[in-house]
Amino acid sequence: MSDAPQALPYAGIRVIEFTHMVMGPTCGMTLADLGAEVIKVEPVGHGREGDATRQLIGSGAGFFPMFNRNKKSLALDLLTPEGREAVLRLIATADIVSENFKPGTMKKLGLDYDTLKRLNPRLIYVSHKGFLPGPYEHRTALDEVVQMMGGLAYMTGRPGDPLRAGASVNDIMGGMFGAMGAMAALAQREKTGLGQEVQSALFENNVFLVAQHMMQFAVTGQAAAPMPARISAWAVYDVFQVRDGEQIFLAVVSDSAWKTFCDAFGFADLLADERLRSNNDRVRARDWMLPELRQRLADRSAAELAAVFEAHALPFAPITQPQALFDDPHLNATGGLAPITLPDGRSTRAVLLPLTLDGRRPGIRLDPPRLGEHNQELLSELGYSEAEAKVLAAPLEAAQRRR
């Protein structure tokens, strides 16, 4: 593990999270990676066995290990008075509470902001929801739901074929905006001595993502076309199929880049063609120019094209599947992947936050926790005797026997 806690900016900040799936856990992971002590309270008892993403398969199998590193797990039955009392003791020691359950869930548990701020006026309370308060707030939202209703699926897919983005973009960014709100509230608390409620929402996050297309309409009066059908701002900005059926993305986005491109490949005739003089001329000529370029480049390998583009500082990209990134030379050379141990004992590597602090990537101090892994440590800290902690741990032990 790396990065001593005292070296990180949020060391000494305690976060209690009541979260599941992706959005809320992303908020906690971000704060945890930056040094906060994040305690994940997981429900057990009454048929519940902690964060349900621990058991997901298929496309959800990566949720728990990705978004729950650098956290401690406290497993309690929140439907009992004893469980709620333990949680309230814990919250009394906290700087931030984060949750992403359905509206009303935390209020039923007596853990809503209005209740908790009376106990701790300095508390910052982060709620991650589908929608900010308004006409839609009663709806159940998922990433794909808001992508469809918020214009992102329309922009990603081909005309008449809306398509969700290939990652949980709203969940992840919504969680990061929640963390950003928590950071702002911490800074405000330094001035006022008071906490506040922060809200982040999937729908509003999605609208923020497509705001550039909304502004395009406001400026031009023309509705934005789906990305696969758009009139590109750049003449050469596309995927090319080359030798042996390989694919590579190539971009030539300025007049100087066009000259560099033509010189590099010996396309003097294209450089001299008056119809291709400026970028806008080339955009208008895409219907005949791109097929011509595709034909000229078709017998070259993707590696050969990449080498030429890289040598001349022209943008290019291989078409990469996610699992191949484990072997990416840049990620491995720059420390973008860090070793972790999964709750089942297997070892792998995880992607770190995409930033550096003083030249270093914030690392992994704690592996994704086993369910209730830190019960004894945390309950003892809160003043519970070993016998009392054993009573509180009974639902956890029952859940573990069922596995």
Summarize pLDDT for 283-326 with one digit per residue, the tens. Answer: 999 999 999 999 999 999 999 999 999 999 999 999 999 999 99
Class of domain 5-209+328-402: alpha beta
Q: State what percent of residues in the chain have pLDDT above 90.
A: 91
Q: Give the SS3 label for residue 34.
A: coil
- 403: confidence class by pLDDT, cuts 50, 70, 90: low
Kindly state the helix (H) or strand (E) to which residue 250 belongs, with its residue range: strand 247-252
**pLDDT at residue 156, rounded to an integer:** 96
**Phi (first) and psi of residue 140, to 5 degrees:** -90, 125
CATH 3.30.1540.10 in the chain, residue ranges: 232-322
State the average pLDDT for the chain: 95
What pLDDT is stored for residue 119 in this prediction?
A: 92
**Could you say which DSSP state residue 327 is in?**
G
d(CA 185, CA 325): 36
pLDDT tens by residue, 251-288: 999 999 999 999 999 999 999 999 999 999 999 999 99
pLDDT at residue 131, rounded to an integer: 97
The CATH code that applies to domain 232-322 is: 3.30.1540.10
User: Is pLDDT of 195 > 60?
Assistant: yes
Which is nearest to 98 in space by CA: 48, 176, 25, 44? 25
Tell me if 364 sits within 8 A of 340, measured CB to CB: yes
| CATH 3.40.50.10540 residue spans of the chain | 5-209+328-402
Q: Which helix (H) or strand (E) holds 125?
A: strand 124-129
Report pLDDT for 230: 80
